[in-house]
Amino acid sequence: MSSEVEISRGTTSSQWSGIPRLRFASLGMTQKLFTALDVYRETGAHSAAMNMAIDEALLECATVPAIRLYRWQSPALSFGYFGRFADVAGYQGERDLVRRWTGGGIVFHGTDLTYSIVIPAGDAVFTQSSMSIYERIHRALCEVLEEAGHAALLGTETGVNDPGYNCFANPVRADVLIDGRKIAGAAQRRTRRGLLQQGSIQDVYIGDGLAERFAQTLSENCSERKVDDEILNRGRELAEWKYGTEAWLRKR
């Protein structure tokens, strides 16, 4: 495993349309986190191992902050880097299991909106604390939810340290809550290349366009990108020798 530093927190659609270099109007409600943001919206679905691999591949190659929104090929379960395989082994056979590179606990995937945000080390936002970034991303999500009529708030609890817990049953500080119920959480990894945040939004209906509005709230300068062959090929390599292996899955 890499010697790079890991910092983790918490747990952790609509059809995306447009043309390359598409720009969206600013929502103009809060200060944007990013001056520019590349948006990767995939129409296809991937295995759990490939989804994790593509996220890491994006971290390797991104030169500006990026958000990737994606789906799962089949019902899946991801668990944090420090999690115990024994805690999820009972789901093998009914869900596609994968150990994340980020921390946090157990997350069930399938109908959720899953995203990853990559912040290159050269971007000014990278110098902020991991918690500050986590909170600001979730404040942007709260803004979108509030516009849809939901009274969304950030959690204030310290949370639990056991990596075997169900993330969405245990809110932690800066997770997104509606009526006391956690609907969004995330986990991070910080390396010399940059910061990766992987998040999941679950059990909340706000109509079409959540992905688009989330990106707009993070930056007024959003550019649509494609997960190209270079990223996919690197992702396949990472899935083959890392995320898709029994050694990685059973690391602990």
pLDDT at 109: 96
220 burial via Cβ count (<10 Å: 0-12, 13-18, 19+): middle
φ, ψ for residue 46, nearest 5 deg: -125, 165
pLDDT for 143-198, tens place per residue?
Answer: 999 988 889 999 886 554 455 556 666 778 899 999 989 999 999 999 999 999 99
Contact 65, 123 (CB under 8 A): yes
Helical axes 229-238 vs 48-61, angle rounded to 10°: 120
3-state secondary structure string across 115-140:
EEEEEECCCHHHHCCHHHHHHHHHHH
Contact between residue 150 and residue 206 where contact means Cβ atoms under 8 Å apart: yes
pLDDT per residue over 200-209, tens digit each?
Answer: 999 887 667 8
Given 61, 142, 167, 222, the catalytic residue: 167
The whole-number average pLDDT for the span 76-84 is 96
Q: What are 36's two structure tokens?
A: 């520019």
**Residue 222 known to be catalytic:** no
Q: Taking residues 39-68, what's their average pLDDT?
A: 95
* Predicted pLDDT at 162: 52
- Check pLDDT > 80 for residue 26: no
Question: Which pLDDT band holds residue 31 (cuts at 50, 70, 90)?
Answer: confident
At 30 the pLDDT is: 57
* Residue 234 burial (CB count, 10 A): 17
Q: Of 53, 208, 163, which Cα lies nearest the Cα of 116? A: 53
